[in-house]
Structure 1
């Protein structure tokens, strides 16, 4: 395989692959067409950023790395409340309780052990940035976020100015970070691997809608930042040795109606809340696939049965196997000691929303308005991700049909640098550079309750990966 000198990862939070067109994102669309694209690229379950990001960073599934939900319960870290992993204080609580954030090393730690550097510029939440490279501070490595910089990233405000405040759209902050990434990280530091994460279009998808003018404007602006990275690559003396990955962590569906899961559970006879205080028997997470932690696990089967009787329920998943009407989380590589007793996804359809964008679902009570985007569940539009690469030995103009997901990205980076990915759940996507065959994946289907929603799975040997919910 020809020598690879550097790798650049460019992440578009929440970007749906079907929204990448020559009109909305001309530079990314051309990049995807000219390199190697994975047509069956998927997220993990739950399809939430702070589950997806450590899966990308470690090459391992949520059940292996342990960050199993955006909002999760961990009795050792906070015995009476659910933690929200976007907050630095809640990340600190997990680290204090367990000595580390993730149960396995990240790509950055593996690269450091092999004598290579990973530089990270992040514009999503602080928690997600930490989950991408949690060892950065201990290794004195470069990880920059507008609200938290570690290692050599400290003090860059003097040169680049303070980052704009977070907003909707978040493109001013993304533009600021992109300048820092281009001029300093790529232009001067020249790390073996450099990663840039754009919080757009996820922010505008959530609050303005997937097909909104605001979302299309945000996509166009982030596409311009990506174009600058490609122009930088083309000007380098080692251009032929630079591999660029373009990727997203999950997609979105349009929230066509809101429900209040906590109120519905209470009405159904289950004392539910966001923590275990005040007589709460069921502690709730949030998002598009809320976790439910039971004070008395013996009530799991009864709660699962009740959930399956509700018209707004899509699929019910369980930490323990054998609960009637549920899919075991282990089937999706998502079972861990801190996984919820049950997770529920909401009913959805492939029907178009009022703007003509296919994919509808429901929103649990929160700050996302009706008509805004939501993710976390198993809808095809939530799971489908952008995954393309180009440069170095990567084939030109190729479309791969084999199943791929976030856990395959770190092993692929390591393979391109001729480093081992032993211990990772994912596998190098070597078909992208002609070192492995490509074939359409095999499928299995699960339908836990007759007449209700089901789940289509990719079958890879003895393991499964989620492909898409099957509508009822």
Structure 2
């Protein structure tokens, strides 16, 4: 039995249709689809990727945001985990910042193969398979030029096209790397394919833009190529496909430069080397040199109409005025002291698509797609199992998230998932195991409530709402 994971970065499930993505829509119909699938918090790629491969949420694996601040490792600036150099700084001399082994390490211990093909950022690819070099596993990123795997791919398929928006040529080339080299030549037991679209085009052109439509079409063509390769194999019935997105998107309709606004109003805020360090994001992290500054930050935010609730890493910080990162299994020594959630809504954006939220991100234009927070459009993800052992043509009522995928694969390969917090999704081949989640609401200060469901003892968030 073999498995191919297809991750379509940033794809919102409500935007998949026979018109926009016919191949994927057909796969969702004929496979086992988890209509209540969710991302983790924060709903960011370099948090989602380790959650997918380790089967754990951030509290356990330790990768808490796309952008972090560490006073000991880089006291004067933020660390951006998309960059390989910053990834290695955050690793502090270890193989990676992750505190739990990934699926590649578990497979290697059992003598099974794992390969990663990604046109995402270098940091995303590193965190997907940090032990690849040590274990002799294939790991290729579109930005790689001089690694042994990159040189082997270049000899076989030629050079990697340059990045663009929409990132069509690179996406197409990555699909060729998977279907023309990795799958037929290396034949890994589990392959992870990371498609960078439609995330890139959603961010920089907007969810309803023509570029985003082209990006979704190209992502759909990746599905076409992978399904066609699988169906042409003699053992096609033993090759299961798992298609998912790592997070969704919400339209960023109001751009907030949080550190600049705070500094303008007299708070010592900046991007490092200041008493208050802020990491721009869909849910900005706030690090405090002095915990006494927390009340000043909270008082200032309480006067902003775009601010939602504050979450605290330490529950004793501002008790009664903050929610807890622990409620989302996102607390960790590396996490920010405070995390701000923006107050979004379900109003239509300028394309008529539902879901808007303020955001803080220097390079994303106002009106572009954004993610990271707890808006229902950010949390909702695609998740479907097709072929191989999976039951065809069913939509599951139960909830699931990224951490449930690796334990499910390992179970089907006859391996344990020790140390993984995710659940084995038995209903993917045993529909009688399916059951809806028990609804649950968490009240947070400021008149906000987090809706979600509890499934097998785990809380799966659905949406942040105004109470």
Matched length: 464
Structure 2 residue aligned with 1:431, among 412, 427, 432? 427
Partner of 1:457: 452
Deviation at residue 98 of structure 1 after TM alignment? 4.6
Query: Secondary structure of 1:156's match?
Result: helix
The answer on 1:115 being equivalent to 2:136 is: no
TM-score normalised by the chain length of structure 1 = 0.95
Whether the 8 Å CA contact 1:257–1:361 is kept in 2: the answer is yes
Whether the 8 Å CA contact 1:308–1:316 is kept in 2: the answer is no
**Within 1, Cα distance between the matches of 2:334 and 2:198?**
30
Partner of 1:175: 172
1:44-67 deviation per Cα after TM superposition (whole angstroms, max 9, x unaligned): 111010111110010000111111
Partner of 1:355: 351
Structure 2 residue aligned with 1:135, among 125, 131, 134? 131
**Within 1, Cα distance between the matches of 2:465 and 2:115?**
40
Bigger shift: residues 370-379 or 67-76: 67-76
**Within 1, Cα distance between the matches of 2:271 and 2:41?**
21
Counterparts in 2 of 1:257 and 1:22: CA distance versus 1, 3 Å: same
Structure 2 residue aligned with 1:105, among 83, 101, 106? 101
1:8-43 deviation per Cα after TM superposition (whole angstroms, max 9, x unaligned): 001100000001100010000000010100011000
The answer on 1:126 being equivalent to 2:129 is: no
Bigger shift: residues 378-387 or 147-156: 147-156
Structure 2 residue aligned with 1:366, among 353, 362, 372? 362
Partner of 1:236: 233
**Within 2, Cα distance between the matches of 1:336 and 1:64?**
8
Structure 2 residue aligned with 1:337, among 333, 355, 366? 333
Query: Secondary structure of 1:390's match?
Result: strand
**Within 2, Cα distance between the matches of 1:150 and 1:454?**
48
Partner of 1:191: 188
Structure 2 residue aligned with 1:162, among 152, 159, 167? 159
Partner of 1:146: 142
Partner of 2:215: 218
TM-score normalised by the chain length of structure 2 = 0.96
Structure 2: gaps (5+ residues): none
Partner of 1:316: 310
Deviation at residue 365 of structure 1 after TM alignment? 4.6
Partner of 2:401: 405
Structure 1: gaps (5+ residues): none
**Within 2, Cα distance between the matches of 1:330 and 1:71?**
19
Whether the 8 Å CA contact 2:53–2:102 is kept in 1: the answer is yes
Deviation at residue 214 of structure 1 after TM alignment? 1.3
The answer on 1:55 being equivalent to 2:51 is: yes
Whether the 8 Å CA contact 2:87–2:96 is kept in 1: the answer is no
